[in-house]
Amino acid sequence: MTSQILAPEAQTELPTTTDAAVLRATLDIRIENKPLPPLGPRDVLVEMRSGGICGSDMHYYADGRNGTNILTQPTVLGHEGAGVIIAAGPQASLATGTAVVIEPALPCRDCPTCLSGRYNLCPSGTCFGSPPTDGLFARHVVVPEAALHVLPDAIPAEIGAAIEPLAVAVWAVERAQVQPGHRVLITGAGPIGLLVSQVAAAKGAAEIVLTDVNDDRLAVAGTFGATRTINTATAPLDLENMDRLIECSGNTLALASGIRTLAPAARATVVGQARPTVDGIPLGFLQRYEIDLVTAFRYAHAFPTAIRLAASGAVDLAAVVTSTYPLEEAATALTAPVTDPTNLKVLITY
């Protein structure tokens, strides 16, 4: 039987069940009490403090699917989360009371892809909150210690869930190979696009142009490092000789038009979720000017950099958090970015 180490300050036994937000069907999410699995030797029990609403959570709730992944059984949503360790398995090294953020992807760590360091591409990997794998919208979660990153005092666990989308932005900028002095076009001013803007600014980009069709989001872009904004619903994309395009909207037209702003030997990076197949990409233009077209999927080894940027103040993590909801109002939280266009990152707090 696996032993558990109780936090010294705990006065009661560890919980064996927890309340969680379970998506049963489209638009049907319920707070249910679910059993907690026993701690394995290198597992920890995290008492959650914050969980972030992502576009994928919203798609699962509204449509019962996200891309090609379909909800086939009741699943706890959520893959952005932070909390405090309250118990640990006998071979875990992190102490109880430690504030942590959870890296949600769960790779096998043994295949050639994982061993090469590209564990984000693990063919057999799973991810918290990606059906059918239960996620992090729960008061307590059992997590492998390898999936945890310690939060410094400068980052409260109550907003620590926002480290996960910041890691997406860090990886996007790394895949884009942004260098000091670059002129960067970012299409899509959602939370990821705004965080990409801040990370690109921290990398030394000389010019950062952010586009969207939402004036509320563009209005705050300057506080996230953008030097110029364009509402592409009302104004032309009058750019040329950009060094980098980082596409964060998932819109095919944004990608195609953004590519045409690039200089010879530039690079375009697809971050927003791509469609299974896409027409209209100017392949001849890419070839004529040897423009690299690359993609980014989640992140690899990006959490330490994200934590460092947030802790140093180079990225204002709190600025991207615009509203919070208790777990009991998970359904409202999942629609908040749609019902209120000024919302950026919405958190569930516990």
CATH value at residue 336: 3.90.180.10
Domain shared by 98 and 214, yes or no: no
Check: CB of residue 345 under 8 Å from CB of residue 320.
Answer: yes
Q: Does some domain include residue 191?
A: yes
- C-alpha span between 349 and 126 (Å, rounded): 24
Task: Please tell me whether residues 185 and 244 are part of one structural domain.
Answer: yes
* Residues 124, 13 share a domain: yes
d(CA 111, CA 243): 35
Q: Are residues 129 and 256 in the same domain?
A: no
Q: Where are the alpha helices (DSSP H) in the chain?
A: 55-63, 112-115, 163-176, 191-202, 215-219, 252-259, 283-288, 303-312, 317-320, 330-339
Confidence (pLDDT) at 1: 28
Cβ burial of 40 (10 Å; 0-12, 13-18, 19+) is middle
Q: Is residue 158 part of a domain?
A: no
pLDDT score, position 56: 95
Token pair recorded at residue 85: 């360790």
- Cβ(33)–Cβ(138) below 8 Å: no
Please check whether residue 161 lies inside any domain of the structure: no
Instruction: Tell me if 348 sits within 8 A of 137, measured CB to CB.
Output: yes
Percent helix, percent strand, percent coil in the chain, to nearest 5: 30, 30, 40
* 115 shares its domain with 9: yes
Over the Cα atoms of the chain, what is R_g? Answer: 20
- Phi/psi-derived region of residue 109, left when phi > 0, alpha when psi is between -120 and 50, beta in every other case: left
Within 8 A by CB and 6+ apart from 189, the residues are: 210, 211, 212, 214, 217, 218, 221, 229
Residue 133, token pair as written in the block: 């794998």
**Contact between 115 and 175 (Cβ < 8 Å):** no
- Residue 234 shares a structural domain with residue 344: no
What is the total count of domains within the chain? 2
* Amino acid sitting at position 201: A
Do 254 and 232 meet the contact criterion of CB atoms below 8 Å apart?
yes
Tell me the C-alpha distance between 157 and 324, whole Å.
13
pLDDT of residue 275: 85
The answer to whether the beta carbons of residues 303 and 167 sit under 8 Å apart is yes
349 touches 49 (CB < 8 A): yes
Within this chain, do residues 215 and 180 fall inside the same structural domain, yes or no? Answer: yes
Residue 12 shares a structural domain with residue 134: yes
174 and 291 part of one domain: yes
Q: What's the residue count for the chain? A: 350
Low-confidence ranges of the chain (pLDDT < 70): 1-12
The reply to whether 129 and 249 lie within a common domain is no
Cα 129 to the center of its chain, rounded Å? 12
Structure-token match 């423009």, residue found: 291
| Residue 186 lies inside a defined structural domain of this protein | yes
Residue 87: inside a domain: yes
Quote the CA–CA distance of 136 and 134 in Å, as a whole number: 7
Would 237 be classed as within a structural domain?
yes
User: Are residues 180 and 137 both part of a single domain?
Assistant: no
Residue 24 lies in a domain: yes
One domain for residues 173 and 280: yes
Predicted confidence at residue 3, as pLDDT, reads: 34
Closest CA to 79 of 130, 42, 131: 130
- pLDDT the model gives residue 6: 47
Side chain identity at residue 337, one-letter code: P
Domain-located, residue 159: no
Cα-Cα end-to-end distance for the chain: 30
Q: Which domain holds residue 137?
A: 5-150+316-349
The enclosing domain of 217 has a CATH number of 3.40.50.720
